[in-house]
Structures are given as C-alpha cells and as structure tokens.
Amino acid sequence: MEVQLEAAGGLLRQLKVRIPAENVAKAVDQRLKQMSSRAKIPGFRPGKAPFKVIQQQYGASARMDAVSDLVQKSYPEALGKAGVNPAGMPKIDITAETEGQPLEYVASFEVYPEIVLQGLGALAIEKPVVNIQDSDIDKLVDNLRKGRRELEVVSRAAAAGDLVNIDFDGKLDGVAFQGGKGDKVEFEIGAGQFLPDLENGIVGHAAGESFVVPVSFPENYQSEELKGKTAHFDVTVNEVKGAKLPDVDDAEFLKAHNVDSAAALRDKGLKALENERDKAIRGRLKSQALEQLLSQNPIDVPAALIEQEVPRLREDAAQRMNLRNLPAEKRDELLPASLFEQTARRRVALGLLIGEVIKERAIKLDPARVDKALDDMAADYEQPEEVKQYYRSNAQMMQSLSAVVLEDQVVESLLDGITPTEQPMSLEQLLNPQAQA
C-alpha cells in the first residue's frame, strides 16, 4: 500500500492511498467465495454453482463490498504510516477503481493544531477582596424571612414587595396593541415581572382605585411596534396583599433552619455567605485565567470538532428551555446551529489549550480531590450518601465531575507563581457583577 499525505490549506489534509491490484482481486475472490456458499441459483444446489456463474451473477456486488472493506480496513493503517492524527471523521473519495488496476482513494480530514503555549507567566489576575458585613447577614436573614412569609389582604396603598391583583389595558396613541391587556393579573411589585414604569406606577394606590400609568418601552424591546414608544395603561387595583414576615426569633422559623436562636442563625448565615464568597472568588480567578489562556494563544480550530460540540450546546439549551420533547426537526428550527457556533468554537479552543497545559505540565487527576468535590456537592442534599452512591454508579457523571476537578487543577497550575492584584469590593458586587456599574 502506498500512502501520500498532502496539506490542503490550514488544518485540512489529504491522504492519498493506493492499494495494489492483486490485493483488490484477492479481496473480491474472497467475497465471491463467501457468497458462493449460500448463493441460490436456479439449476444448482446451494453452494454447488460453478465459480464462473457466481462471478457473472455477483461479481459487481462482490467488488463493491470488497472495495468498501478495503477502504475501511486500510484507512487506519494509512494514518499510521503517514503519522497523522485526524480531528473528526474523514471524507473519502474513490478516485480509481477499475478491474485489474490498483484501487486509489483520497481521505480528506482536518488535523489538530500544533500548539506552542505563550504568555502563561504574564497572566494579569485581579483577586476580589470581600469582607462580609453585618448588612450582608441582615439581607440574608431578611430573604430567609421572606421565604416563609404569609400574605394577607390589606386596605392600605400598595408598596414595593406587596402582591397586587390588577386589571390593565394599554394603548399606544389611543389604539390597543397585542399583549397590552390583562384581567386579574397577580404579581409582586419590584419582582420585575412587568416594566418598571408600570410596577412603580401602582405604588401608592389602594384596592378599588383606577388610574392611568404612562409606560416607556426601551429601545431594545422585542416588539417593533413598541420600541422606544410610550404607552398609557388604564389600571384598576383589585386587591393588595402585604407580606407578614416571621420574627427573627420565632421558634418555628428557627426550627425550619435547624438552629435554636437568632444568634445561631446569623452564625450559620455568615458561614454560608463565606462559602458563597469563596466559591465566587475562585470562579472569578478561574474565568480570568482561562480567558487569558485563550486570548494569548489564538489557534485554528478544526471545523469537525465545532460540529461535534454544537449538538451538545443545543441539547443543553433545549433542556433549559424545556424544549426536549419537541420533534428534533422543530427543535433544530428554533435552535439553529448558527446560534451556537461561536460558543462551540471557544469551548473547543479552550479544551485544546487546557489539554496542552495538562500535557506540558504533566498534570494528573487527583482522586482525593474528586472525592472531596463529590462530598461538597452531595452535602447540599438531604441524603448525601445516596447522592454519592448514585454518582459513583454512573460512569458518565463521574467522568464529568473528574473533568471539572482536572480543569481546576489546570487553573491552579496557571495561577501558581502569579501575584494577583487585590480588588476590594462588596459582596453584592462580587455576586452580582452588574452591581459594579
């Protein structure tokens, strides 16, 4: 077998393979002999027909099957001879296939990029410095109280945090528009279910009141008809419910959070916020390290790998949007590949770079860290041992967990020796980056 490898531009390679004619003839004969043992030809008992008759009846079919087998079996050997590692499946074109002549085909495929890591010693990392304040604990305790609130009808004017029931009818220049009308709609003021102008316009009005609220629609609103326009809503408040929160030292409230005093609840809240802070800081450091690894090492990415990543991203999106039960054709129409190509390209490039860091620095997965990650994850559930047993019985889930741990080890390796710049900020700014603006 003769093998010739040629670069066809970028990562594309063409592998030209030539198989001797005698090898092809032998493969065809073997195929015909296999057929002859079970061939049913009129006038002959099964397996007793002359070989020439078998050739006449099945020669073309036997040759087609033999050529297919030869290509399939010779391709891996040809790759080995050429010393090349393809990224994805090849496109194979048979260029010469004539009886008595050599079989020739061309396999076109992409290869992995050659990576020489750059700039790893010059990562510019900012590390958030966050001190938990009493006000942060106050906010957490208030949220816990709101989680166990009781709603009661009130006669006072509506305020932020109240649950209101309203009728509304919106008009643009005196004309009704689609989606602008609702009856007995219930929502919490300040929860963001409606545009801020409408929610804020209800504040100060009690049940039974009717009034008009001007609402300005943003320039990027999804409806072309309403973008940047101001509509007027006729609003009637049907009911206002105020939230009655449990006292911080209420016995039932404390019992629900497995503590026996308000002080113990605050201590538990402090530890929870510290864990959340530390996790968020690690996330910030990881994000910066990987982003700079990517920006300082631009590489070509095989299109075949991007094509493999897109379906995974689409499946994740379909699951988040509750579209998994849709027919595949309809789902793909709603979530076209173009939506995911940029993200897929980034993920593939980052995966290749991380793999190169692992290889260059001989990083090995730490089983003890996998066990700790599993313990930490299971601790959030009521039956942690059952959760851990379930994970350990599922090879795919353990593989995913191990991949996350190995990636964390890569990040630690990247950050080793780097002195980050400290960036003081509040807990709110850390957990909600938009708050920094």
- The domain segmentation of the chain, as residue ranges, is 2-111, 150-244, 277-436
DSSP-assigned beta bridge partners for residue 128: 423
d(CA 397, CA 373): 13
Kindly list the averaged pLDDT for each block of 10 residues, start to end, along the chain of length 437.
93 96 92 70 62 68 90 95 93 93 96 94 94 96 92 94 95 92 94 91 96 94 90 96 93 93 96 95 95 95 94 92 86 91 96 96 96 91 92 94 95 93 96 64
Provide the pLDDT for residue 62: 85
Domain 2-111 -> CATH class: alpha beta
Q: Is the pTM of this model over 0.85?
A: no
Provide the pLDDT for residue 93: 96
Provide the pLDDT for residue 436: 45
Burial class (CB in 10 A: 0-12, 13-18, 19+), 280: middle
Provide the pLDDT for residue 437: 39
150-244 CATH: 3.10.50.40
Provide the pLDDT for residue 41: 66
The yes-or-no answer to whether 150-244 and 277-436 have a common fold is no
Under CATH, what is the fold of the domain 277-436?
A: Trigger factor, domain 2 (1.10.3120)
Provide the pLDDT for residue 50: 65
